[in-house]
Amino acid sequence: MGQRRHNDLILNDAAMKFSLETSNDNYVIRAYTPEEIIVTPPQDMAADIERIQDSRFGDHPVALERITSTSLIMPRLLIKKWTSAAYADISADDLAKVQEHQPEIVLLGTGCTLKWPAKGVREGLLAKGIGVEVMDSGAACRTYNILIAEQRHVAAIVFL
């Protein structure tokens, strides 16, 4: 695996590491691969998380959550295994469950490639004034970090 430099980020061919500086008050996505997402928890929740040494994140053990299934990530909430349904099988009812968390916007990460959901899946949230953006999962992870840095109440549903 080689490395390449893009602006101030070093990108490994196998994984993309994010280095956007954000508050320690939120879940922050630190890395994404098609098989795994790595997040750091909010500082006040980190005591309950196992500290892992991972050279991608420095020389000292840090609190990291490894996600290997479709999950819901919000600034102060992480639901691993949010659904066992395949992306092609999600319904409007599945997305409606996100409404209880009152996000401003839902980022729908569709896996390695952009895939539009079935007709009617987004409309329920849009009718409630909740924005829905559909993008591949890598883009959803990057966009999530940008929006939490702007202190937006965002929900990312990321399919792996």
- State pLDDT tens for residues 50-83: 777 777 777 776 788 889 999 999 999 999 999 9
Please report, for residues 17, 43, 45, 86, 120, the alpha-carbon distance to residue 95 in angstroms, rounded to integers and kept in the order given: 28, 28, 26, 13, 11
Q: Which pLDDT belongs to residue 9?
A: 43
Into how many domains does the chain fold?
Answer: 1
d(CA 112, CA 135): 9
25 in Cβ contact with 75 (< 8 Å): yes
Give tens-digit pLDDT for 90-124.
Answer: 999 999 999 999 999 999 999 999 999 999 999 99
Give the pLDDT score at 11: 44
The pLDDT of residue 4 = 44
Looking up residue 79, the CATH number of its domain turns out to be: 3.40.1230.10
Cβ(147)–Cβ(26) below 8 Å:
no
Which structural domain, as residue segments, surrounds residue 72?
3-158
pLDDT of residue 55: 74
Q: Which residues contact 32 (CB under 8 A, 6 or more apart)?
A: 15, 16, 18, 38, 137, 138, 141
**pLDDT tens digits, 7-57:** 444 444 455 555 445 568 999 999 999 999 999 999 888 887 877 777 777
